[in-house]
Amino acid sequence: MSVNRKVLTLDEFTIQQLRDFPNATGELSNLLRDIGLAAKRVNVEVNKAGLVDILGDAGTTNVQGEDVKKLDVFANNQFMGVLRHGISCAGIGSEELDDIVIFDDDVSNNSKYVCLFDPLDGSGNIDVNVSIGTIFGVYRRISEKGKPCTKEDFLQQGIKQVAAGYIIYGSSTMMVYATRRGANGFTLDPSIGEFTLSHPDIKCPENGKIYSVNHGNFFLYEEGVKMYIDSCQKRNKTNGGPYTQRYIGSMVSDVHRNLIKGGIFMYPGTIDRPNGKLRLLYECNPFAFIIEVAGGKATDGKQRILDIQPESLHQRSPFFIGSRNMMAELETHLKKKNK
């Protein structure tokens, strides 16, 4: 008997994808389901953050020297917990943790994947009710199966990701993930507590009218970036300018909007912080992977993000990401100034 139902849940979708690969083990589907479960738990806590005493600093600082909010700790433990208890992940790296966590048990040592994540990006926005998110990237481990995973598994180029995604805890909660086959978005249906396919096969528009950057840092940016920002503000019949400036200060929200509507997001290096603020492994690589699958581009201003060979877990990188044609326009300005 066929069931007449239009909406696929996250689990149904990943299993459907699996059916196309008869030799697939299902480990990636399991891992994505685990992440979906942790996301639902974090969503519940984020939604009641204004009500319960979960707000405020946990009283410690993370390895970046930033204040850790309680929800950061909660989210970190949830994602680490589901991946540790699952069957697909040999270890994790988290923006909140100094070092990788190797699960090192019989099941995990035989698992195919490792996962890097930022459990709660934009957490400085929690207490003012602005959307925040989780970002993750999944890599096939390169260390020998049957043994504990190693740091090399985590220090792979972004291009080696097999899947990457994010969860946005917003007016509705969404999970977007990409594999090489496409990027798809799932909205959490609170009535059944399931992520359901709402944005199939996401394509980032080639052109956009939104630019997102912290204008407060304008005079600290390199000349090419300043020139591009200037051009965003000018009337331009060819590219539809002037563009609209939108900057939430919560990257998941800013990049999600630009991915759907078209636009460019920039976190350039500054005079005092030449590598900018964002972390290559936890923030830039997953988004770079998603945007490329969706037809957009991501660079550090000089090279493709996904080609960068990471040297350390918490390294930062300037970050430019968005619609293909807006990125091309940016690159013209950057090249002119770098000559």
Q: Write out the residues near ligand AHM by the rule CB under 6 A.
A: 66, 121-124, 214, 249-251, 267, 277
Nearer to ligand AHM, 63 or 87 (CB): 63
Q: Are strands 182-189 and 173-179 parallel, antiparallel or unpaired?
A: antiparallel
Q: Hunting for tokens 């994010």 — which residue is that?
A: 166
- Minimum distance, C-beta of residue 317 to ligand AHM, in the bound complex (Å): 13
CA 274 and chain centroid, separation:
22
Closer by beta carbon to ligand AHM, 112 or else 316: 316
CA distance 139 to 114: 5
Closest to ligand AHM by CB, 15 vs 130, is: 130
**Residues 84, 79: Cα–Cα separation, whole Å:** 9
* Residue placing its CB nearer to ligand AHM in the complex, 122 or 296: 122
CB of 143 to ligand AHM, least distance (A): 28
Q: Which is nearer to ligand AHM, 31 or 126 (CB)?
A: 126
CA distances from 56 to 67, 94, 111 (A): 9, 20, 36
Q: Which residues of 97-119 are buried (b: 16+ CB within 10 A; e: fewer)?
A: beebebbeeeebbebbbbbbbbb
In the complex, minimum distance from the CB of residue 250 to ligand AHM, in angstroms, rounded to a whole number: 5
Which of 282, 273, 274, 262 is closest to 301 using CA atoms?
A: 274
The residue at minimum Cβ distance from ligand AHM is 251
